[in-house]
Amino acid sequence: LPIFFVPLFPKIRAFWIVLYFLLAQIPAAYAVLVSGAEYGIGYWAHLGGFFGGFLVFLLLRPEAMHRYRLGLPV
């Protein structure tokens, strides 16, 4: 019996992937903050990286945001 695998590669903008990952990190970081438990993943480091990267994006390449909104290559 041959098994066929059809790879599906939908076109999803990076914004949505980053937003999904960001929203997945926030509840975990909040839970660690509230419970005071130890954790093996640096949730706060991930969130800091998101905001730091966004700040660099805004400060170093102000025209990039405009091009991104127009759907042009950044």
What end-to-end distance do the CA atoms of the chain give, in Å? 46
- List alpha helices for 1-74, DSSP H: 14-35, 43-60, 62-70
What is the model's pLDDT at position 52? Answer: 92
Read off the pTM. 0.56
Percent of the chain whose pLDDT exceeds 90: 5
pLDDT of the chain, 74 residues: tens digit per residue? 567 777 788 888 888 988 998 898 888 888 888 887 777 678 888 888 989 988 887 787 778 778 878 888 86
> How far is Cα 13 from Cα 9, in angstroms, rounded to an integer?
12
Q: What pLDDT is recorded for position 20? A: 92
